[in-house]
Structure 1
Amino acid sequence: MKTSHRTIATAVAVLAMTALTSCGSSSEPAADGTVTLSFMTGSDQSTVDTSKALANAFMKANPSIKIDMEHQPGGSEGDNIVKTRLSTGEMTDVFWYNSGSLLQALNPAQTLVDLTGDPVLTNVQQDYLPVVTQGGKVYGVPATTLTGGGILYNRKVYDKLGLEVPKTWDAFMANNEKIKAAGIAPVISTFKDTWTSQLFVLADFYNVQAAVPSFAQDYTAGKVKYATTPAAQGGFQHLADVHAKDYLSKGFGSATLDQGLKMLVEGKGAHYAMLSGLLPPLLATYPQTATDVGFLGVPSSDPAKHGATVWEPPAIYIAKTTEHLDAAKKFLAFVASPAGTEAVTAAVRPSGPYRIKGSKLPDDAIQVAKDLQVYIDKGATSPALEFLSPIKGPSLEQITVAVGSGLTPPAEGAAQYDKDVEKQAKQLGLAGW
């Protein structure tokens, strides 16, 4: 899902490009004993604000360490800058970058400082570590909050109709029937923005992993397929189910993401398979978003195993070329501490929980963040597959549109996606393909 990963990652961020600035740092301590760390971060506004909050709070607590920040562009241009500077030995001391499968492209064993077993990681939740691990070694700490992938639902609709949050797919479908009878669109779909059609599949991965714990590893090795793994085919079946029952919002084929979010917040649609991180920008226009929209993980057949798929936070890493390793580790330890998350919360309203032990959401956190926290506290989350496997077939969004529109049977859609990822795996030169 290379293209879809990019689109989803972009969708979570509110893009507000800032001027590219660069401040070098001396490798020698200043005459007064201060050390200057260079810190490359992103340029979208949320990332800039988060990075500034972390740097300023850290410098206040550590007067002998100064942090100079520079901002890289987003997307592939920023990726190329990071890879080039790492390969030429010209990277900043610390830097902000993706977690998950994109980490392997940085050749971390050669370019990043290994943090395995380091006190820097003391407060990092165990569930996060796999997405900053390559070759059994841990390289980063979470830079911000996570995002939930699942079903956003209108809580006022639920209250009005006396519905309970479903923990099984059958209960979800029964709720849809009652919602439809009340004249409200049960399931919002926005296939004009094709990437949004993927969420029933992508956000179902918690259920896949619960049924087949080794799926991500075996999938990467070419040992398992979507079409021959019933649990993995489940997301395609969900798409087919809601279409077959006529639960989709009218005009779903031409509707856009913005229209879908508006329908949800206004209560004209009850459910929307989507990312929770897309809600904060709506707060200015629709302040009721904070209280009226809840989050639930895509239900499976077993209520005892109800959980949620999450899009994990990006990470902050230390370049192996740093000449200020102690100071860099001290900064990462601060980032990965309750004090660090409190500094971020004061500057940026969190759209989800932090991956830091002891960090608490503020009382005025939006409802979806509180709902996600419940899943975190239960230990009932899994990273999306794209964080655990480098294989991202580019055609998933076209396949899911066809399945979700009733044009392609779910089993056929799963088989089509297997062929799509096979091309990608062979391009990557993965063993077993």
Structure 2
Amino acid sequence: MSSFISPRRTVLAVAATAIAATTLAGCSGSSGSTTADGKVEISFLTTNGDDAIATGNALIAAFQKANPDVTVTLNTRPGGTEGDNLVKTQLSTGEMDDVFFYNTGSLFQALNPDQTLANLADESWASEVTDNFKTVVSTDNGTYGAPLGTSMAGGIAYNTKVFADLGLSVPTDWSSLVADAEKIKAAGITPIEQTYGDTWTSQLFLLADFGNVLTQDKNWAEDFTANKAKFAQEPALAGFTHLQEAFDKGLFNADFASATAADGSAALATGKAAMYPMLSSAVLSNITQSNPDAVKDIGFFALPADKAANTTLTVWEPSAVYIPKTTEGAKLEAAKKFVAFVNSPDGCDVQNKNFVAGGPYTISSCSVPADAAPLVAEIQKYVDAGKSAPALEFLSPVKGPNLENIAISVGSGISSAQDGAAAYDEDVKKQAQQLGLAGW
């Protein structure tokens, strides 16, 4: 896997969040109409993974029970680039389903939403979404998407029992994390787990640092997109610097080069490792499968910045449901009802029954179940305190294909932080030029 979007797509496939898919399982296309008995027919397009299909069918069944005058047909599409291209094609040809499930952030912006999507800013649920979510489904002219699924965070998953046994508190700045790690190492426990056997996981030191970058420079993503901000310069250089320092101080597991995400999650669950930079949904999914009794012992905190005041949790916002402008009349009203239902208490119950929450919901009408993993509550505290920010992939379309390999090089002591950051600045150039972005 590669680029800023890869961890998102990778983890959504393994975290049972009804988001990811890889192969074509059906055909889509607008099929809404009014039947002879007065029922309105609409269609809902989702991705073709088993979890996505199960969630889609469950939402439809509950919605139709509450709205017997509407019939909803489920259609599916592939994930990845193939799915992206299909969505763009159907929107441009006027063949999109009446409601469709798709990414937020930069991929949403690539849909030319002001021209292709129905503005949902005046819907009742729109005032209930978080500011961060609204940012990734809106333009200056409107709000176009409603969330489906929970958010997830990038940061440090930690074993709360290990921390308690050693008398450690959650670190809020980088020097405190290093000091804690030295104490953990002295106790014979791996301080920081790394799992380069699954190469995409190497990026978390860098991806999860973006909230800290944005807190220090609110225009950084915009400047990066315009080729005015660089990873080889502060504040973004810090992610590379911290990765190098952790390796240089011997804070990683001995098998970091070959360990997988499943291995790392198991080490964290059993207390062989104390901290693991990871996406919350990925570590939760792996531990739920391999060490379910240990879920209660796993906490989560933001990757610390050099200064505690700048420490900000990086959040991957959920994908969303949208309505194309080609959905009109009675179909439009039915489609809006369906979108609203997704984020109603009944719709949220359906979501909770069909996937494990890896983070908080991004709309106040939905709550994770009472038995949700404790790490979700820790993530929620950052959100409630205004100390969270969207990941870079939601704010910029610029992403290079070789970040994971560059991160492994820095995190293995092969390249310096400065050289790795400069290499990534060069890596993104070709992709930015292919997108035709100004300034490149």
Query: For residues 62 and 37 of structure 1, what CA distance do their matches in structure 2 show?
Result: 12
Question: Where does residue 203 of structure 1 map in the other structure?
Answer: 208
Match of 1:407 among 406, 414, 418: 414
Unaligned runs of 5+ in 2: 15-19
Shift of 1:216: 0.7
TM-score (norm 1): 0.94
Residue correspondence of structure 1 range 89-238 to structure 2 within 5 A? 89-134=94-139, 136-228=141-233, 230-238=234-242
Cα deviations by residue, 1:53-110 (Å, 9 ceiling, x for unpaired): 3222222222211211012122222222222222221111010111111123323233
Question: Where does residue 62 of structure 1 map in the other structure?
Answer: 67
Question: Where does residue 290 of structure 1 map in the other structure?
Answer: 295
Shift of 1:130: 1.4
Shift of 1:222: 1.5
Question: Where does residue 87 of structure 1 map in the other structure?
Answer: 92
Alignment partner of 1:429 is 2:433: no
Question: Where does residue 367 of structure 1 map in the other structure?
Answer: 374
Aligned residues: 432
Question: Secondary structure at the residue paired with 1:122?
Answer: helix
Shift of 1:29: 1.7
Query: For residues 277 and 90 of structure 2, what CA distance do their matches in structure 1 show?
Result: 38
Shift of 1:137: 3.1
- Greater mean alpha carbon deviation, residues 63-72 or residues 3-12: 3-12
Alignment partner of 1:251 is 2:255: yes
Match of 1:419 among 413, 421, 426: 426
Query: For residues 53 and 144 of structure 2, what CA distance do their matches in structure 1 show?
Result: 22
Identity among equivalent positions (%) equals: 48
Question: Secondary structure at the residue paired with 2:71?
Answer: strand
Cα deviations by residue, 1:97-137 (Å, 9 ceiling, x for unpaired): 11111123323233211223443413222210111124543
Q: Is this contact kept in 2: 1:186–1:270, CA < 8 A?
A: yes
Q: Is this contact kept in 2: 1:128–1:355, CA < 8 A?
A: yes
Match of 1:277 among 259, 281, 292: 281
Query: For residues 6 and 250 of structure 2, what CA distance do their matches in structure 1 show?
Result: 31
Question: Secondary structure at the residue paired with 2:380?
Answer: helix
Shift of 1:24: 6.8
Q: Is this contact kept in 1: 2:343–2:365, CA < 8 A?
A: no
Q: Is this contact kept in 1: 2:23–2:79, CA < 8 A?
A: no
Code of the residue aligned with 2:264 in structure 1: it is: G
Q: Is this contact kept in 2: 1:149–1:310, CA < 8 A?
A: yes
Seen in structure 2, the aligned counterparts of structure 1 residues 104 and 424 have a Cα distance that, compared at 3 Å, is same
Q: Is this contact kept in 2: 1:49–1:348, CA < 8 A?
A: no
TM-score (norm 2): 0.92
CA RMSD of superposed structures (Å): 2.1
Match of 1:262 among 259, 262, 266: 266
Match of 1:378 among 378, 385, 389: 385
Match of 2:244 among 224, 229, 240: 240
Code of the residue aligned with 1:276 in structure 2: it is: S
- Greater mean alpha carbon deviation, residues 22-31 or residues 351-360: 22-31
